[in-house]
Amino acid sequence: MTGIEIIGIWIGAFLTLCIFSFLYKDNPFYKFAEYLYVGVSAGYVMAIDYQNVLRPNLFDNLAKAGNTLLKTGKIISEWWYLVPCILGIMLLMRLIPKISWASRFTLAFIVGLGAGINIVYTMQAQVLKQIEATILPLWISGNFSQTLINWIIVIGVCCGLIYFYFSLPHKGIIFGGGAKVGVYVLMISFGAAFGYTVMARVSLLIGRLLFFKYEWWPSLQYLFK
């Protein structure tokens, strides 16, 4: 191991223990690691956005437009990138109280554009695809297990929709029984989602424990050998 690698491993181990210290109670070590994580993440995202978004999509195009104008006197389409540049500057005016109102135009543009794009995306990804995944054959010859799974999916989706249908009282066999089955279906889906979340967090914990076993402990042995 090199000295830089050992220093990096020990910093990672120290910050991990700072985060784990919250299991005891809130303390300055945990706050230090938390603030450091937020600050480093914000700086990293800012650097990535500059390298991958601002410079290639804005600054390079404006520089190209300026060079073309100086050399040939022609105005090319890249000058349109002044519009997002102005909107971005207006958004930063929110930091100045006297002219913070100018940022509202940029926020309105972002919200409107985002809503228009997300409506199409949501309809395709979360509505049409879900409907398509529910339209299943209820009988597959020679494949009883898949047939049973298809019946469970179709009945579960229908009962879940019945539970959220409030125009009629949930009484009788169809609406009353379907709504009760829908409750069980929802509880099973919520439980599965929660279990998946817990499993993901446990996998992160295992990853940090393996870090201590296979990286930090060998570095400790290397220092005191």
Q: Quick check: 172 pLDDT over 90?
A: no
Average pLDDT over residues 173-185: 91
148 with 225, same domain: the answer is yes
Type of residue at 136: L
Percent of the chain with pLDDT over 90: 47
Average pLDDT over residues 129-142: 84
Q: Quick check: 168 pLDDT over 80?
A: yes
CB 9 within 8 A of CB 213: no
Residues 47-91: pLDDT tens digits? Answer: 999 999 899 988 999 899 888 888 888 888 888 989 989 999 998
Percent of the chain with pLDDT over 70: 100
58 with 9, same domain: the answer is yes
Segments forming the whole domain that contains residue 221: 139-225
What's the domain count of the chain? Answer: 3
On average, the pLDDT of the chain sits at 90
pLDDT-based confidence at 210, cuts 50/70/90?
very high
What single-letter DSSP state applies at residue 191?
A: H
Distance of alpha carbon 8 from alpha carbon 16, whole angstroms:
12
DSSP string across 134-188 = H---S--TT-HHHHHHHHHHHHHHHHHHHHT--SS-S-IIIIIIHHHHHHHHHHH
148 with 109, same domain: the answer is no
pLDDT at residue 133 in the model: 83
Residue 168: which residues within 8 A CB-CB, separation 6 or more? 175
130 with 143, same domain: the answer is no
129 with 188, same domain: the answer is no
What single-letter DSSP state applies at residue 23?
A: G
pLDDT at residue 203 in the model: 94
Distance of alpha carbon 96 from alpha carbon 103, whole angstroms:
10
pTM of the predicted protein model: 0.66
Distance of alpha carbon 182 from alpha carbon 158, whole angstroms:
8
Q: Quick check: 1 pLDDT over 80?
A: no
131 with 145, same domain: the answer is no
- The owner of tokens 């104008």 is 69
The answer as to whether 80 is a domain residue is no
92 with 121, same domain: the answer is yes
- The owner of tokens 């600050």 is 39
